[in-house]
Amino acid sequence: MLNEITLLHPARRTDSLGFSDIVKIRNRVFAMKQSGMSILQLEGGEPFAPTPDFVKEAMKRALDENQTRYAASSGIAPLLEAIRAKLAERNGLNITTEQVIVTAGGMHALFCAFQATVNEGDEVLLFSPYWTPIRDLVAYAGGKPTLVPWEEVRNGSLTEALESRLTGRTRIIYVNSPANPTGDVLTRSQLEEIARFATTNNLVVISDEAYEDVVYDDPHISIASLPEMFSRTISVFTLSKSYSMTGWRIGYIAADDRWMEVLRKLVLNSVNGVSTPTQYATVAAISDRSTHLAKMRDEYRLRRDLLCKGVSDAGFGCVPPRGAFYLFADVRSRLGSDSWKAMNELLEKTGIATVPGVVFGPHGEGHLRMSYSNPIETIEAAIAAFKKL
């Protein structure tokens, strides 16, 4: 018989869930700041700019119009229509509003995508270093992450890298381009290679396009837009990075009918729909055709080039990333290969907060992730502070 102690224990299912190391670093930075230290915060993952005024105005209007009641749990009709039009125009996805569902941010979308597709013991291919929560989302769904080093992708052996990790249990491949933390962007021909591999081996693709609007050289390509890929791809988008809406918690999924019923159930039973006024305000963001995104891209490019030069001048390895807003600097020559030690040394000697690369998986060891989504003055101060090393 179960005794009281056993009953008062959290469900075993939750044992596989981790808690973000980045949050632990953030808490340490807050504590240091509270004790009066000045910290240059390159550890974050947020756009430096506030939410654009036209989105805030739309939120105020939604509240004035009392758009505060329960909404349809899969999303309000005007938002679904705005998303459909955006996906057709910018992502090459010609789909119906029935193939779109609104979620509480990209994280919730990914949670639902993995819950919808992973069976106990399924193997999920992840390019590594990877965005940390993915490992937990895979594990919580009962899956097993299989790491595919980005290094092998960069060396030109993408298909071989995937094939050598394929087993009878491989079911899903998680594609994140532009990638956090490395800033890698997969080219059309690389996405075609992945598509061929997925089709040949009957895999599901979960495509995380959180940074679709932060690409510097080529246009963003959604893998679901490649021939025959829509049916096997669950595409995840968020407003967080494109429109500086991290705190609003809104994103969406585009997927074939075969996935929609289960996705609807997951959204209904987790959040029962996203905040109604937020959805009305998001119509303004999704319908935006101004130069906002292009201007933001230029701002990020400026910051990337500035920090990358500073980091190289300080003797670290830095290749300018082709997307997202992080440098994944190789710090081995100056700070050694233990990235937690390197992060601590940099923080203590210079007041620069970063994230140890190993937090993003074993292939990240010897690196530090530095966000250049910061005011120019912060980046300049960080460059000057490297000299204290």
Residues that bind ligand PLP (CB under 6 A): 45, 105-107, 131, 176, 180, 208, 210, 238, 240, 246, 251
> Which of 148, 314 has the CB closer to ligand PLP?
148
How remote is the C-alpha of 153 from its chain's centroid?
19
Closest distance of CB 384 from ligand PLP, Å: 28
Closest distance of CB 109 from ligand PLP, Å: 7
Contact 118, 124 (CB under 8 A): yes
Closest distance of CB 3 from ligand PLP, Å: 39
Closest distance of CB 240 from ligand PLP, Å: 3
Closest distance of CB 355 from ligand PLP, Å: 12
> Which of 244, 350 has the CB closer to ligand PLP?
244
Closest distance of CB 110 from ligand PLP, Å: 6
> Which of 173, 335 has the CB closer to ligand PLP?
173
> Which of 105, 143 has the CB closer to ligand PLP?
105
Closest distance of CB 45 from ligand PLP, Å: 4
Side-chain-side CA neighbours of 17 within 13 Å: the count stands at 9
Of 238, 236, 295, the closest CA to residue 93 belongs to: 236
> Which of 126, 314 has the CB closer to ligand PLP?
126
Neighbour tally for 136: CB within 10 Å = 17
Of 217, 251, 277, the closest CA to residue 86 belongs to: 251
> Which of 74, 176 has the CB closer to ligand PLP?
176
Neighbour tally for 7: CB within 10 Å = 7
> Which of 182, 190 has the CB closer to ligand PLP?
182
> Which of 314, 368 has the CB closer to ligand PLP?
368
Assigned token pair, 224: 């679901």
- Written as one letter, the residue type at 109 is A
Closest distance of CB 108 from ligand PLP, Å: 7
> Which of 133, 344 has the CB closer to ligand PLP?
133
Cα 103 from Cα 251, distance rounded (Å): 5
Contacts of 222 (CB under 8 A, 6+ apart): 87, 91, 92, 93, 207, 209, 212, 235
Closest distance of CB 174 from ligand PLP, Å: 10
